[in-house]
Copies of this chain bind each other. A is one copy, B any other.
Amino acid sequence: MSALPAGRGRTRLIAVARGDEAPDTVIEGAHVFCAHTREWLEGDVAIADGMVAGIGSYEGGERIDARGRWLVPGFIDAHMHVESSKLTPAQFARAVLPHGTTAIVCDPHEVANVLGSDGVHWMLDASEGLPLSVFVMAPSCVPASAFESPRRELTVGDMEAILRRRRALGVAEMMNFPGVVAGDPSVLAKLEVRGASHADGHAPGVTGRALDAYAAAGIRSDHEATSVEEALEKRRRGMWVLLREASNARNLRDLLPLVREYGPEHCAFCTDDREPDMLLREGHINQMCRIAVAEGVPVEHVLVMATLHAAQAHRLDGYGAIAPGFRADLVVLDDLSSFAPSLVLAGGRVAARDGVAEPFAVPGIPAHVLGTVRSAPVTDADLLLEADGPVRVIEIVPEQLITIQRTVDPARSNGHVVADPSRDLAKIAVVERHHATGRVGCGLVTGFGLRDGAFASTVAHDAHNVVAVGTDDASILACAAHLQELGGGIVVAQDGRVIGELPLPVAGLLSDRPVEEVVGRLDDLHAQLRDLGVTIEAPFMTLSFLALSVIPALKITDRGLVDVERFEIVPLAAG
């Protein structure tokens, strides 16, 4: 994928580079980072038709004074899911451009679970013409497992159609590492899909022979390493190590010794999943730069990981450096420690100043990505829990995606197992919401600290059915009914009545509002949950992973409780 314009645009760029025409814009006097030599050059940077024409001395054009400041390439996120921000691509762009991010490589597998390939095509449509360059990988693992119920499976044919689109690059993170390692032909077929330039990996804790097998399949990156040893093993196998700093997986500091000891080659930065509050309050790739520099990595090594290396990992030609024929994605920094850009240019145009994005045209939202909550009405009967003797309970682990499988003697009422707030035992329900099948999986969860009421979300990895937790059935039912009305979102209820909401009308996953508003709403909901007794830090994020059937130990989908280690549906009764 090349950044270069064809035809007239290229001719003009060459004329400006040659010195025969005036540039559109000149950034004067900055120390200019050269990613190819990891040094700072002195000179003015000329821009024409959205591209860098050269570094030197130029007449004419709009002048931007950057004397004494640092000019670096726009930051690139090597692997992420826009959906985690709960923002549309346009609002996401508005949120991250002020942090200096000018390109992302995203795997839109959340919208793919809800909307099939339509969701991926919408993500491409909705990011067309944005100042942020949005590249898309074709989701490889929809559904995440046979225990989950997305709208439909994404096939090799769907992937091939996605990969015919401009800005679609390769095969998105291959999360089905057991399938790859086992040599499952249907899984390998996805790695061999026509039109893919490369395949991203996802191999948490996979080491030794299993990792050999995974790499032998041709997978050339991984973002799941949590220790230096794991990351080193992956790099030795020829994989790009994408150092991750996500809301739910802050791995950067632990991995930086790899860079300090072995250099920044074959390393790049990624955020994977960032909640809107982390974007707003901490930043994006620039926050990773800040940490890495503070941890003693030379700033030139930090910058190549944040820019050129991400482009190279994805074979993006003309991105990630300041050189003739590279896209003019440029960040002006007042210092090399805070990484708070004073100015951001994307494609040669000012995209953000002093932390605020410049206005740009926001594409409308088509009807087909709205109104996606199509669950059958949930009734009391759907929530009845029947089991003799001790039962399985999902125990959440604060700040982790894994859960523990507990066995408890539950409270009972009229012969039915019920929530017991005095022992922090809440009811959890997953309601299928794509085809109104009426399928509801029900069980118990502990660890939230919920004493009263209920909360629910249509953000429920990976199939994004409705997931609800509550101490009383009436509040759970109120949540489910209101999510149907909203077309998706996050809601809180008490005494059978909804008391708070964050509408997420796009696929039931995304707001169409700015990040500040989304974070404000979430703050309010978090405060309500604290009032209802919830003690953990990020209850909605925790909730959203309780339906993900590929992370140990006990999870729940609309098909029932899933023992992930045994990889099978199990009954509530522990007997």
Contact = CB atoms under 8 A, between A and B. Distances in A.
A304 B41 CA distance: 26
Contacts of A219: 325
A266 B312 CA distance: 12
Nearest to A198: B317
Contact of A216 (B39, B53, B235): B53
A185 B11 CA distance: 8
A509 interface: no
Contacts of A212: 17-18, 53-54, 56, 324
A235 B4 contact: no
A18 B54 contact: no
A220 interface: yes
A215 interface: yes
Given A11-B188, A218-B2, A325-B216, A209 B36 contact: no
B18 A209 contact: yes
A232 interface: yes
A10 B217 contact: yes
A125 interface: no
A360 interface: no
Contacts of A182: 18
A324 B238 contact: yes
A263 B216 contact: no
A218 B265 contact: no
A36 B180 CA distance: 23
A318 B216 CA distance: 10
B10 A41 contact: no
Contact-size category for A: 35 or more
A14 B317 contact: no
A325 B238 contact: yes
A406 interface: no
A36 B265 contact: yes
Contact of A17 (B16, B39, B213): B213
A326 interface: yes
Given A19-B209, A216-B53, A218-B2, A36 B235 contact: yes
A13 B219 CA distance: 13
Interface string A298-337: 0000000000000010010110010111100000000000
Nearest to A326: B238
A144 B16 CA distance: 27
A1 to B, nearest CB: 10
Contact of A218 (B55, B237, B325): B325
Contacts of A281: none
A324 B213 contact: yes
A506 to B, nearest CB: 35
Contacts of A183: 10-11, 14-15, 18
Contacts of A323: 215, 236-238
A72 to B, nearest CB: 15
Contacts of A19: 209
Contact of A262 (B38, B180, B312): B38
